[in-house]
Structure 1
Amino acid sequence: MKLVLLHRADSIYDDRPDTRYDFPRQYLKAMEEGVGDRVIYYEPVKAGNRGYFAAAKLQDIIRHPTLPDRYMALVEPGSYQSFVQYVARLQNGTPLESALADPYGFPKKGGAQQLAVRRLPEEEFNRIVDLGLPPALETFEEHRYDPPGAAEPVVPFERPVIERLTKRRYRDIAFRRAVRTAYDERCAISGLRLRNGGGRPEVQAAHIRPVAAGGNDSIRNGLALSGTVHWMFDRGLIGVAEDHSILISHNKVPRDVADRLLGPSGRLYLPREACNHPHPDNLKWHREHVFGQVIADEPPPWG
């Protein structure tokens, strides 16, 4: 059973959408029906502008470890996927969820739209995913910066919904697009917004905690980084402190290199929206498992 799960960044619940969803007993039956299937996260209008903003797969449900009558839905590791664009609840004035529409297609007031957990028919799930993770994203991104008339029109390759949610190639492209957009195509560490001769942004999308190490494709597990800074971050030469100040392995990084590559503030340049800031747990994992380990499997790019 597909579900829509409401999430607010200022929620009183112990939520972290990419790993767990905290909910009260009243939603237990619906949540149990959703185990092993996929969910879409939704931010209510009064809480922000994201609308539907991500998808994931539920793995299990456990009792909350400290609070009575509360439960935790555990997200399957690696299944969380940020949408590349937010999806509004209303399309041409009509709710994407039929349960939220009256017989004439107009939005219902109160009632169902206030529910934190809502069942979602398969076709409506697919439509929301189509809007948040476009079927032709791979082709669009490949030719996004081509000058007008540079090549013959390309017939877009459209992956089915399940492939977009599971195939690494599509997920990597979607993650790159979402992270670059969140950081306004600016390197989070140098603060520079560089483009090549064709207008393509030079900034890359780095996983803070790699997917192979239990990370996921949440924007909050990503940093937009220039190529050299990305190399340094992945190899433990750069880290990020809890207060977002930049940590440098000075015994491995020459002072002049650090001065050229790092922004004058010495802190991360963060997305405008706080809901897209890197999650503290991800930065902590990188500090504990990567920073200072200096994984140097090739010569540094500065020679």
Structure 2
Amino acid sequence: MVKAVFIASSHSHYKDRPGEVYHFPKRQYMSRVAQTVGDWVIFYAGRMGGNRGYYAVQRVEKVVDDPVDATHAYAILDRSTLFDFENEVPRVDPLGNTYESGLPPSGGVNASAVRLISDADFSRIVNEGMREVSDAEAIPRHDGFSDIQTPFHVPSNFSEVRERILTSRAFRDASFARQVKRAYQARCAMSGLELRNGGGRPEVEAAHIVPVSENGPDSVQNGMALSGTIHWMFDRGLVSVDEDLSILIAKDSVAAPVADRLFTPERKLIVPDTFTLRPHEKFLNWHRANRFKG
């Protein structure tokens, strides 16, 4: 098994489904992608993809042929392992050195959509990407288990990265919560309220749209910032979100006067300005089909 960097872009002509499958031409990349099965890959977006740099990590489950194009194949990704970096990592570090050994600061092999990387380079990118960012929006709602603040530790070997960080539920929960609260500026996406206690802690919680128990990924696109009460209602299918971001309320679940107090007057979800931070339609579709009691 070998780790790799996969270049991904929202403007790609390939049939990628982010977080689910990575589409690629066999002739150029099959020999490389096949080596990543069972291991982790890092996603990178250059200038054509929004210049995000290294922005997420995920495990490759298997490789299958494209059923309609014999010259292409799909890397099937383990959806539950997708993890957005708290810091999007640029191509070069502050000293001007590339995070990938042997990669020039610009151009060259960057054009290769699949690049195999060493454990050391992988760990270096992951360390920077998962470095905790603390600000007013990301302060945990409570002390204790619900928002565990695991101290970041630069591991001495890759095994520790994989076991203690990449698969740590406590670390993932805390980082996911910080990223979602930051994306929504600590404001409830359904009520529009931004409430804080005396210590400046936001009242909102980070809600998974597709829950972890259903292999929902720890990606901001699978999350929303919701107040405690609305989070409880969302998890139980009393409320959901329509395709046009309208707030859906299950019939006979919430009295009209209560709904008027709980939700925005427009009954529209408040979403981040940045498109890549907004809830993805595939996750909202799942919630409507599998949770909503409307």
What TM-score comes out, normalization by structure 1 length? 0.85
One-letter amino acid of the counterpart of residue 215, structure 2: G
Letter in 2 for 1:226: S
**Does the residue aligned with 1:90 lie in a helix, a strand or coil?**
coil
Contact 1:237-1:291 within 8 A present in 2 as well: yes
Residue from 67, 70, 80 that aligns with 1:68? 70
CA contact (8 A) 2:11 2:48 kept: no
For residues 282 and 29 of structure 1, do their structure 2 counterparts lie closer, same or farther at Cα, with a shift above 3 Å needed?
A: same
Q: Is the 8 A contact 1:6 1:41 kept in 2?
A: yes
Q: Is the 8 A contact 2:189 2:224 kept in 1?
A: yes
- How many residues are paired up? 275
Conservation of the 8 A alpha-carbon contact between 2:5 and 2:43: yes
Query: How far apart are the structure 2 equivalents of 1:27 and 1:5?
Result: 10
TM-superposed CA distance for 1:129, in Å, is 0.7
Q: How does 1:34-73 map to 2 (within 5 A)?
A: 34-73=36-75
Structure 2 matches for 1:213-228, cutoff 5 A?
Answer: 213-228=214-229
1:264 and 2:265 are equivalent in the alignment: yes
Within the alignment, does 1:85 sit opposite 2:109 as a pair?
A: no
Distance across 2 between alignment mates of 1:24 and 1:215: 28
Unaligned runs of 5+ in 2: 141-148
Could you tell me which residue of structure 2 aligns to residue 99 of structure 1?
102
Provide closer, same or farther for how the CA distance between residues 252 and 167 of structure 1 changes in structure 2, counting only shifts above 3 A: same
Cα root mean square deviation, aligned = 2.1
- Is 1:244 equivalent to 2:245 in the alignment? yes
2: distance between equivalents of 1:114 and 1:196?
49
Q: Which amino acid aligns with 1:216?
A: P
CA distance in 2, matches of 1:187, 1:145: 15
Q: Structure 1 residues 60 and 155 mapped into 2: Cα distance closer, same or farther (>3 Å)? A: closer
Is the alpha carbon distance of 1:245 and 1:129 closer, same or farther for their aligned partners in structure 2, counting shifts above 3 Å?
A: same
Quote the sequence identity (%): 44
How big is the shift at 1:16? 2.3
| Contact 1:171/1:217 (8 A) holds in 2 | yes
**2-side partners of 1:208 and 1:284: how far apart?**
10
Could you list the runs of 5+ residues in structure 1 that have no partner in the other structure? 102-106, 147-153, 294-303
Change (3 A) 1:65 1:278: farther
Deviations 1:7-54 (A, max 9, x none): 112222221231111111111110001111100011113421421111
| Counterpart code for 1:128 | I
- Give the aligned partner of residue 130 of structure 2: 133
1:253: Cα distance to partner?
0.6
Contact 2:238 2:293 in 1 (8 A): yes
Return the alpha-carbon distance in structure 2 between the equivalents of residues 188 and 182 of structure 1.
10
Distance 2:151 2:187 in 1: 28
Distance 1:17 1:185 in 2: 26
Counterpart of 2:23 in 1: which secondary structure?
strand
